[in-house]
Every structure is written in C-alpha cells, then in structure tokens.
Structure 1
C-alpha cells in the first residue's frame, strides 16, 4: 500500500500534468465548439485512457480563448490578441497546447472580403499562429483544415485513411487556401522541431451558423448530379469536431487525423433524406458552365469544387476511433442539422444573387440552377408546339 507521502506526491504529479489549452480565434462555430468540448473535458477532470488499457497522465486544465472579442462560453479564460498579429506570442505565455481552426465556416464574410484578401489573411494568420506558438514554448499545436485537402477523385478508396496523399487542386478556391496551410504545417515541422503539430481534417462541417460552399449546395432548387459520378457523402458536426480535438490534445496525438460521422451516404440516400429532386448534367457541361460563371464573377467557387459533390472524399477516422473517440451525430442526423440551418435561405431562381455578400455559394448550386432553367426551357418549347 502506498504511504500518504507517496499518495501526496502522486496528486502533485497529476496536477502538474494538467494541460492548459488555448483556442486561437473564437468567432466561428467550429472554434466555439472546440471551446465547449475542452471546457467539458476539463470539468470531467479524468485522465484519458490510452490503447491497451494504459491510463494517460494528461488532463485538460485551464481553457483559454484568444481573440479580439470574448466568446459567450462559461468556464473559459479570455486573453486579448489578434490571431494575425505577432503580439499573439504574449497571449500564449504559459500555454501547453493550442488549437486553431483554419477552415472557414463563414462564406458570406469570405465573399465580401474577396478571394485575394481572403487567401492573404488565411496564410498570414496560419503563419503567425505557428510562429507564435513555437516562440511561446507551446508544446502541441492542433490546426483544423479539412478532409477536402485529400481531393475528390473517382479513384479514391472509400473511406480514405488518415495517411492518404493530399491531392486537392491548389487553385484560387478555399480548398487551395487549405492546401497552402497544410504546406505551412509540413515546413513548420522541420523548422520548429520542438513544436508538435497535428492536422485535423474534418468531413463536410454542419452545425448552427456553419455557412460553406457545401452547405449552400443544398440551397439549390435541385441536387446536382454529374453523369457517371458516384459521390460518397459524409458529414461532421462541429460538436463532434470539438470532442475529437479534445481527444487529440489530451492524448497528445501527433501527425494527422481525420474526423467524420461513421460511414457515408449515397446520392440516393441524400435525395431521400432531403426530399430534393436531382438534375443530371454531363461532366463537360457542368464544368464548362461553372468555369464560365466563375470567370465572370457569378460564382465564388472555381469549377474544380464541383468534384466535391461528384466524387468520394469520405474518411475513416480510424486513428481517433481507436483512441476512444465516438461521434455523437451520424450522417443522417447531420443532414437534418444542415437542413434546419439553411431553412429560410432561398436560393430558388437565384434569389440570393441579389445580395452582394451571399451570392450562390457553390459552383454546383449555380450549375443546378442552369440545368433547371434548361429543363424549363425545353418544357416551354414542347408546350408551344403542342
């Protein structure tokens, strides 16, 4: 039996092993989900079980939010700093681990900002976060990008494993932004060997306030399908992303991990769940139309983004599942959350094109509109000759 003295020293070691974690940038739904999950993990106060039954010593201690405005989340300590300002290093003093969400969930803001400014800001903040974390002595940095960086390809295995090659197009779209962030991470691992960096790559995000190219795909009058393509739809609720990041931090998981609901949905599943009818176009027609609309400024997303509604990019989340992480939301539930979130947003007949900051958010949505218009024109022509 351990003596009281030994027990006391064990308690001290446990307190010292608590990890103080900061979330850098907290205005978006995903970052707020991270904060909630970390606060919940800290409140539980238990150590995390590792594979093989070994109990890890790391616990979540203080949870800090670093931004220019405090989040309305209880149990969080606030430190003021602009995530893109080098002074961020001061706000990270004493922090053991930090998390930063690089993937955007505010398409309206991004459209108002403009593609060039958006990319410059994305890279500047990511570089500042990495450099400041290393300079402040942070031991572990978690950067949330997206499973879209794997690319959507007809020959992708379903599901993709965590170590699959990143094959997305490095174009001017938002996925191209994340490919640049992933490159920064790869370089930083060599430049800052004392800083462990983990890339977390979620499937299509859903949740209250999430507004992305993919969520706006469902605001089109019909679901676009490309002839001969077989998509595999997978989603990730922001709360499940938050709990996944908490596991990554508590267990010190390095490298790269994917996050998503288990399994995937087929196009037929999606049509059943949404109640939406499809419009089918050839790949050539869809890509050509999307490219023309993007070049004249109607579409904010490049034609290459059509691949993400046509071809599979579902992930396995094998590493996290093996570490005890369990997603609460399945794909069907995520679709329901998505539909609730976009209710009241009308992209029918291009209504949203009237708003400067909310032009149709996906090449696929606009092409669906074009396809629907073509169908209606054919029907009118048949009616006039009847």
Structure 2
C-alpha cells in the first residue's frame, strides 16, 4: 500500500513527459540552451551507453532491471530540463506555499495511520524520509520569503518532525541554525531545539531498540561499499561499473537486499541500486569524474543566492542515506527548485 503513491507519481511522470515532449514538438518550442546541466546529462548518457555497448559486444550477461534503475537520474534530469525550458518560473512564495499544502497532507496522513494502525510515521510518498526531504526543499524557500507566515513555517517544521527522519531533522536544525545565526537571532535556534525534543526523544527510543549497529541498513551499506571499493579497477573508479552486470554475486552485508531487491526482479547478485546512498550509487554507476562534475554543478548553483545555498546543504546531507536524484518523488521538485524558481524574495 505504501508503494502505491510512489507508483502513481512515477506513472504520472512518464505520461506528463510524453505529453510535454509531443506538445513542444508540435508547437515547435522544443529547444535547449547550452548549459552546465545539458553538458552533465550528455556526459552521463555517453558514459552510460558506451559501457553497455562494450559489455554487449563482450557477450557479458546484462540484467535489464538494474540498467533501468541506474538510468533514472538521466531521465529525471532530462525531464526536469524539458519542464524548465518549456514553462514559466514559479515564484519563491508559491513554491513555499506548495510545501505548506504538502505538509498538511503529511500531518493528516500521520493522524489517519495512527488512528487506524497505531503507526507513528507518515508515508504520503511511500516513505517518510521522502516526505521530509520534499518539505525541507519548500522550507528553504519559505525562510527566504520576506514576512512569510510564521504559522506556515511552523506547519512545515511540525510536518518535518512528524516524519521522524533522522537525516531530515538534522537538515532542519542545520538550516534553521545557519539562517538565524546569519540574521543574529540565536535565541530562535534554542527555541527550535526545544520544539525538536519530542521527535529527538522518539528517534532515540527507536535507536535504543537496536541491538547491533550492523542492523542499521545505511551503516551496513557503507561498510559493504568500503569492502567493495578495494575490488574496483582504476577504470571502474573513474567511469563507474557497467549497469546490469553484478558487482558481486554475493555480499555478506547486503544479502537481504540481494535476495529481496535483485533476485526478486530477475537479477542475480549485488548491483548499484541495492545501495540507498546517492553518493555510493552514482559513483558505482557513473564514476568519480561525473560525481565531481555533479558536485561542482551543485556548488556553482548554490553561489547564486541563499535559497539555493540552503537547498545544496540539504542535498549534500541527505545524499548520504537517500538516492536523491534517483528518487522520482524528490528529483523533479529538487531540479525545479534549482532552475525553475524565480528568486524574488516576494
């Protein structure tokens, strides 16, 4: 049931993608300006398909589900670029208001889940971490709107805390602290810490029930990656491994993910999509050079204004434990925030 909303989002993206492309071609408005984003997408596509072609002519066994899974950032970035090039920019205030509407849905979802099933975490976008990520993007817009409603800001804060996302709450506190220290309003930082205490307490309760640190899936994934890194060739490090070809046939740390994610989708062995960290997954599929290029692109965007600087901080922190640009529910709003929001401090 939790995956239903995610499936709806992904199907909607595919339908809207073809509609926008066809409509733009008919209207003869389909064009792209030369940009860093276009260059990044081109380089990602070149590296991705060249590796597949080489593997095909070497008669390697290629599993197609991992190929599709690792193609996602190319598709989402390209689709986001199409949307941005063919649409008008949204105002900072409207973008923030969308976050308030979504925050309301998150809180209502939590109330319903608790009343019916006794659950303490929402899941509007199939996972509370995704909900929190999306709210934080809009929160960054809200705090950059002059005289924005404090009640609406509080609504987004409460919704973020309700997700009980550990990384999400850390991001919230970091952004709130940076923003208020820059404004010389240190007292508000302490108020935010007090508001966050109930969520921190509940997260502490969840962590206290963990018997072994190796039962934390994100920690296990990074441990697995460190052991895998030593097996990669120099070419693999620079340009990534070939999607669809197993990194290992068996992994001591991620055996559950190999069985329940890879084998359940017809692919043997360990693949990049088994790792939920964007840094690990992108590095394994596209290599160190393109990872550095993407980070440079984000840093350059962050220099434009405070809103984009806050967004970039969130991306860098969330990417340790989430797929970021691999996520259908997050990648497009994130790209629109970077390129499709008019920074007017309305």
TM more than 0.5? no
Structure number with the bigger relative contact order (C-alpha 8 A, sep ≥ 6) is: 2
For the pair shown, the structure with the greater C-alpha radius of gyration is 1
* Structure whose residues are more often strand by fraction: 1
* Structure whose residues are more often helix by fraction: 2
Q: Name the TM tier (shorter chain).
A: under 0.3
TM-score by length of 1: 0.23
